[in-house]
């Protein structure tokens, strides 16, 4: 039987379906019990037990828990464990991520655990090192596990958090009420919650942070789209002034050192808003639990140490669970367990819907008064007309977008023009129109480019005074393979400033915007061009 987990990568938590995550949690529960009972027979069912199965840790940012729990998990498996000395590696000579990881993959390593400031590294390497493995006949295609990338995601932390929430929820997945407290802006662990908490059917989430540390809109919107009931509070004081208080609180460390002078001047005030105090205890529902991905700051902990020896303490067990979850994840990737899984698997198929539709032109005369596209005072005999640009937007937006279309389509040479008119049906609704006389031919790639920059438009091709072809453009499901695309997140691996040679790729979101395929940053279709 095929094992769908073998050789998988984990760049974001959504790389595992809900059913796959629940399966991983069930297996972790079995493993944890077996470890507690020293049940060697069950433990052997999980063990990879292969000294040639290589796990490589590459940490370009500091870590204790993630790095050491993975190292100990690999030792449980009796696998080969390596750790790149990043401070003295050839990264410092300007070597790219692709060349570095291809090199290490060539030394028969199967799984890479990567922490990096750059976002989307694992998604890029999955493709790049996969191609390297193919052309060099390596026995395994390497897997990449994101151990935290910038402000983006920390999917294995999400797995151990989810496991711990379930443990404290009596394995009930029907609902969770969770308060996220602290630095929701920088915290990748709370960003992973936007998809991670989908393991629960009903999610009530309370975001407690002052505006300076608030959850970025991308993740807040994702939570809403995922059906979560989201409320916002400025501080713990404000939160506890109302009655509906969560029984699970997830604290994070304010990363104020990443913010400017002005914020640092106000650090005591900002920290106070997200730090728990003794007098708050009486407002907590019975059976409440606190969690923290850790580390907590030794001088300014948001969960003060006087709480360590209280029933609120869920964070210590949460941290210990990290190794169990990671043992199971490695066992799945190695194909040691998971063959019998029969739940919903990750879909590999692409959305290949058509987005350039040819519509009936009937050889309409372009001279006809109602359809005439004129070159100054004369109707066009030969040329192209892009019509209905940004219909309904204001004239200034339409003008800016026409300039972008002209640039992206290379229409900035020769004759022609553009104008803004109102719709025949609604004189209050503006639209833009670009025309270019001549006999320029457009191929499929040009049409793709047009759909990507001018969705919702009509393209008319005019020859000898007649419209010989007419196309309607729709938003493509994916936009890629154009040199002048760029993600506007400076921390993204594909951002041109990093010179990693990563071509920008975007995928359409449910609300018809474009998410970077690497870092997930959401753009409008107008924002993806350099």
Which residue number, 63 or 509, has a Cβ lying nearer to ligand CP? 63
Which residue number, 102 or 321, has a Cβ lying nearer to ligand CP? 321
Shortest Å distance, C-beta 84 to ligand CP: 16
Q: By C-alpha distance, which of 471, 458, 467, 465 is closest to 364?
A: 467
- Under the binding rule (CB under 6 A), the answer on residue 297 touching ligand CP is no
- Under the binding rule (CB under 6 A), the answer on residue 114 touching ligand CP is no
Which residue number, 330 or 485, has a Cβ lying nearer to ligand CP? 330
Shortest Å distance, C-beta 131 to ligand CP: 30
What CA–CA distance (Å, rounded) separates 398 from 430?
A: 8
What CA–CA distance (Å, rounded) separates 520 from 489?
A: 9
Q: By C-alpha distance, which of 232, 123, 230, 204 is closest to 515?
A: 123
Which residue number, 239 or 315, has a Cβ lying nearer to ligand CP? 315
* Segment contacting ligand CP by CB under 6 A, of 58-66, 82-90, 342-350, 451-459: 58-66
Which residue number, 118 or 294, has a Cβ lying nearer to ligand CP? 294
The Cβ of residue 280 has, within 10 Å, a number of other Cβ atoms equal to: 14
Give the total of residues touching ligand CP (CB under 6 A): 9
Q: By C-alpha distance, which of 151, 160, 163 is closest to 191?
A: 151
Which residue number, 67 or 526, has a Cβ lying nearer to ligand CP? 67
Answer for which of 157, 164, 302, 521 binds ligand CP (CB under 6 A) is: 157
State which of positions 59-78 bind ligand CP (CB under 6 A): 63-66
What x-and-dash track marks residues 120-149 binding ligand CP by CB under 6 A? ----------------------------x-
What CA–CA distance (Å, rounded) separates 515 from 523?
A: 6
What CA–CA distance (Å, rounded) separates 332 from 339?
A: 9
Shortest Å distance, C-beta 296 to ligand CP: 10
Answer for which of 150, 187, 196, 293 binds ligand CP (CB under 6 A) is: 293
**8 Å CB contact between 79 and 54:** yes
**8 Å CB contact between 401 and 418:** no
- Under the binding rule (CB under 6 A), the answer on residue 117 touching ligand CP is no
Shortest Å distance, C-beta 330 to ligand CP: 16
Shortest Å distance, C-beta 263 to ligand CP: 22
- Roughly what angle, to the nearest 10 degrees, separates helices 18-36 and 315-333? 110
- Under the binding rule (CB under 6 A), the answer on residue 358 touching ligand CP is no
- Under the binding rule (CB under 6 A), the answer on residue 152 touching ligand CP is no
Distances (CA, A) of 220 to 182, 195, 234, 352, 525: 15, 11, 15, 29, 20
Distances (CA, A) of 485 to 283, 413, 518, 526, 530: 51, 21, 13, 10, 6
* Segment contacting ligand CP by CB under 6 A, of 25-33, 177-185, 293-301, 338-346: 293-301
Answer for which of 51, 295, 304, 363 binds ligand CP (CB under 6 A) is: 295
Answer for which of 13, 121, 294, 515 binds ligand CP (CB under 6 A) is: 294
**8 Å CB contact between 13 and 192:** yes
* Cα angle value 148/153/159 (rounded, 5°): 85
Binding site for ligand CP (CB under 6 A): 63-66, 148, 157, 293-295
């Amino acid at each position: 039987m095929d094992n769908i987990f073998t050789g998988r990568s984990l760049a974001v938590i959504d790389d595992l379906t809900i059913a796959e995550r629940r399966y991983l949690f069930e297996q972790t529960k079995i493993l944890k019990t077996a470890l507690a009972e020293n049940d060697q027979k069950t433990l052997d069912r999980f063990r990879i037990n292969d000294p040639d199965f290589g796990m490589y840790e590459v940490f370009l940012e500091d870590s204790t828990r993630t790095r050491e729990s993975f190292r100990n998990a690999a030792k449980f498996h009796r696998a080969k464990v390596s750790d790149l000395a990043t401070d003295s590696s050839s990264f410092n000579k300007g070597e790219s991520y692709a060349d570095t990881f291809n090199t290490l993959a060539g030394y028969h390593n199967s799984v890479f655990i990567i922490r990096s400031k750059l976002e989307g590294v694992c998604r890029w390497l999955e493709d790049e090192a996969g191609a390297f493995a193919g052309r060099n006949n390596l026995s395994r295609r390497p897997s990449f596990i994101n151990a935290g990338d910038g402000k983006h995601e920390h999917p294995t932390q999400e797995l151990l958090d989810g496991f711990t929430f379930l443990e404290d929820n009596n394995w009930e997945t029907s609902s969770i009420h969770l308060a996220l407290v602290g630095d929701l802006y920088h915290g990748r662990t709370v960003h992973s919650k936007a998809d991670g908490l989908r393991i629960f059917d009903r999610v009530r989430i309370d975001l407690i942070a002052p505006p300076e540390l608030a959850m970025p809109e991308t993740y807040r919107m994702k939570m809403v789209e995922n059906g979560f009931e989201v409320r916002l509070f400025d501080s713990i004081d404000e939160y506890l002034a109302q009655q509906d208080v969560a029984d699970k609180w997830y604290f994070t460390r304010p990363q104020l050192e990443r913010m400017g002078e002005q914020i640092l001047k106000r650090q005591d005030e900002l920290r106070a808003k997200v730090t728990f105090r003794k007098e708050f205890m009486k407002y907590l529902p019975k059976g409440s639990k606190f969690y923290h991905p850790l580390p907590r700051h030794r001088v300014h902990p948001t969960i003060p140490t006087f709480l360590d020896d209280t029933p609120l303490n869920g964070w210590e067990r949460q941290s210990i669970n990290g190794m169990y979850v990671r043992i199971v994840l490695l066992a799945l990737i190695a194909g040691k367990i998971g063959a019998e899984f029969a739940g919903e698997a990750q879909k590999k198929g692409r959305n290949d819907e058509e987005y350039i539709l040819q519509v009936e032109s009937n050889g309409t005369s372009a001279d006809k008064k109602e359809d005439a596209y004129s070159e100054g005072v004369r109707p066009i005999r030969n040329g192209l007309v892009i019509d209905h640009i940004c219909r309904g937007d204001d004239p200034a937006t339409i003008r800016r977008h026409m300039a972008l279309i002209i640039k992206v389509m290379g229409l900035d040479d020769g004759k022609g023009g553009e104008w803004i008119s109102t719709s025949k049906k609604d004189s209050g609704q503006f639209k833009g129109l670009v025309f270019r006389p001549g006999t320029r031919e457009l191929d499929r790639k040009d049409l793709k480019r047009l759909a990507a920059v001018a969705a919702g438009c009509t393209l008319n091709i005019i020859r000898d005074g007649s419209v010989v072809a007419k196309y309607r453009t729709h938003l493509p499901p994916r936009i890629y393979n154009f040199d002048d695309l760029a993600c506007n997140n400076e921390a993204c691996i594909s951002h041109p400033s990093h010179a990693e040679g990563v071509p920008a790729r975007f995928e359409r979101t449910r609300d018809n915007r474009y998410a970077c395929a690497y870092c997930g940053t959401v753009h409008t279709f107008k924002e993806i061009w350099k």
